[in-house]
Amino acid sequence: MTTSQARGAHTKPELSRIAVFGANNHISRPLAAWITERSAQTQVRLIVRNPDHRESLRQAFPGAEIVVADYYDLASVEQALRSVNGLFVITPDFLDEQRAMTNVIYAARGEPGLLHIVRLVADPPGMTMDRIPDALKRFGGGTAVQHLRAKALLENSGLPVTFINIGAYFMQNFKTPFFNGALRAERTLAVPRNRRMGFIDTQDIGACAAALLLSKDQRHIGQTYHLDNGHDVMWFDEVAQLMSQAFGEPIRYDGSDETFLRFCGDGVKQYIGRPDADAYFLHYFQFEQDNQTVWRKTDIVEFLSGRPATRLSDWLKANKGEILGTAA
């Protein structure tokens, strides 16, 4: 077999229509932008649950199809997947993945032209359901449980799936009520359970997912890629030191539950939409601390997207105003 024949044996047909769930979020939007900028011939179908987001998406992506669908509504999922041959799946926290992915799998099986699905999950590499603490299982959902359920369902579906597992914290979390309450009020990074963690810009996640869908290499299907930015694996008290350097003012670290609950508890509940969300995340932080040895620095973002991943120090400098509440 010649080299060209060997390469051809692993070639995936070009995808002409790619559907993107969660199209208004900080991963799917960059994904859609990457596709439209690099593959003008690819039709993008943006899927949202809230119809109020359609207008802003029309302005940002004038050539895209925009549809409204709910994971729990099979008919709307079937409509959203009609005639697509590529699909990106991302879900919110505490979704019933059994119900949602059953609908996605059923709808996907009805589309014989669907050649590639990329699904986002977020678990410590190598995690299994029997290792999840009972304290987290009792909440009935959340990342620690639901993504493992979703992955098992999709792996057993026979569909052509690639998993991108986020082996890091979203840098964008520092702009949300998870962490910015204490940062704005007292210039304090309040993160319980000081632990070792990787970091990644969600724009880089979107770029990797888009690159996988646009890739003609069939060998991506069936793989799980653990994403991090290849540079920053550090303890949270070290992140506070990095913030001090990036912001040009002292940022102290406080790892107590009390400070986190005082400044971030209400914001976390509102952000997640559950009255027990603050309690859930205290258990989740402990779960992360118990598994902190697994985080690694890799070149996976550059390997998949062809560009170096954003470093945390650069991201912090660029987003100082939004994080500290001093943006003009």
pLDDT in tens, 109-121: 999 999 999 999 9
pLDDT for the residue 219: 97
Angstrom distances, CA of residue 173 to CA of 9, 11, 105, 315: 42, 37, 30, 12
Question: Which residues have C-beta within 8 Å of that of residue 81, sequence separation ≥ 6?
Answer: 19, 87, 104, 107, 108, 110, 111, 114
pLDDT of residue 10: 83
Residue range 32-80, pLDDT digits in tens = 999 999 999 999 999 999 999 999 999 999 999 999 999 999 999 999 9
Q: Looking at the DSSP assignment, which residues form a beta bridge with residue 65?
A: 45
Domains of the chain (ranges; CATH) run 3-323 (3.40.50.720)
pLDDT tens column, 268-288:
888 888 899 999 999 999 999
Q: How confident is the model at residue 9 (pLDDT cuts 50, 70, 90)?
A: low
Angle between helix 143-155 and helix 277-290 axes, rounded to 10 deg: 70
Give the Cα separation of 128 and 221 in Å (integer): 21
| Predicted local confidence at residue 5, as pLDDT | 41
Secondary structure percentages of the chain, helix, strand, coil, to 5: 50, 15, 35
Give percent of the chain with pLDDT exceeding 70: 97
pLDDT of amino acid 328: 56
pLDDT recorded at residue 206: 98
What's the chain's average pLDDT? Answer: 94
